[in-house]
Amino acid sequence: MTSGPDPSPGGPLAGLLVADFSRILAGPYSTMLLADLGAEVVKVEGPGGDDTRTWQPPVREGVSTYYLGVNRNKRSVALDLKDAGDVALAQELARRADVLVENFKPGGLARFGLDYDAVAATNPGVVYASISGFGSGPGGASLPGYDLIVQAISGFMSLTGDPDGEPYRAGVALFDVMAGLHATIGVLSALNHRHETGRGQHVEVNLLSSALSGLVNQTSAFVAGGVVPFRMGNSHPSLFPYEPLPCADGELIVTAGNDGQFRRLCGVLGLPELVDDPRFRRNEDRTANRDELRPLLVEKLRTRSKMDWFREIIGAGVPCGPINTIDQGVAFAEEIGLDPVITAGEGDAAVPSIRNPITFSATEPGYRLPPPTLDEHGTEIRQWLAAPDDQERSA
């Protein structure tokens, strides 16, 4: 590819240029992951900037932490697509890019000559990823796609909350994140196809399809079993115990995913007689008779603190864990050596961030740049795009 304004980053995707025409969460999360792995990402923003710059509180030094969470390792250029000169620069960036990621409404970039067909006409090797709420078909293209709407429409909220209470959303934009991951998988797959054939392609991801896929056993219950799942609070439809159980000072998540784990749990709790009880011998028995089994387990668990039980039950090889706050979750990851917090950038501009979750034996992710201010790299990017591009693209 042609060297861009930041030709030096290492990593498994070093040498790839990503034109990021996305905003808010799904697209920026995807392009941040690509950037962590060495791709050079140019974030194209309108004159007002990414919407999440204004999504506050909370803030760090006046900047939205929402924006900071998904935009490290990128360079920002502000282009006004109502201006012919800026449109030409955007088209040139698209022509030079290995990957273009966008989440405009389907067809929204066509009037600027930035839709897939227009870009591929001058850049046939481009991997062009479109993220939408409900797909590009006639039924979904016009529908605005926010994560909360998809949580509702997909059926997810019907599964979340107390059985007799109201439906609840997840505490994070779950399907935006999931769609961003699916987009990343699609981009990497298409890049491999390009490596084999020399041809790019259009990759499409939508939040509703990501949601239905991500609901896994719940959507499978309907399409394969004809069962419509329903809210069960913190209970699991197919496993028991697999939920919070009260101890002397709070609740502990206890999960016995198979018969062996249940036997070990009974041993720790001093309830060996439950192992051969025909009501509880197999997982399907325990699930069917959970109302009889639960009080027997709770009676023992209430005699000691949740952390006392946590150490003993984990020590016996049975998965369990306390219900933490976010700060406690980060602290636990630090305690077990996962080093979850990294610093993006250096000096006064450096920003604490959460580590990319992928580890490699030879090509680790990098965190060279903090999230950019609006148009922070505009001058150098504009100059680069205006200069002649004489190098041949290699697939």
How far apart (Å, rounded) are the C-alpha atoms in residues 342 and 361? 18
Q: Please give the Cα distance from 255 to 233 (Å, whole number).
A: 15
State both tokens at 178.
């999931």
Sheet containing strand 320-322, strands side by side: 242-246, 251-255, 320-322
Please give the single-letter amino acid code of residue 214. Answer: G
Residue 349 has which token pair?
């501009």
Residues across the chain? 395
Q: Please, which residues have CB within 8 angstroms of residue 272's CB and are 6 or more apart in sequence?
A: 266
Q: Report d(CA 283, CA 201) in Å as an integer.
A: 46
φ/ψ of 343, rounded to 5, equals -115, 120
Which of the residues are catalytic? 176
End-to-end, the C-alpha distance of the chain in Å comes to: 8
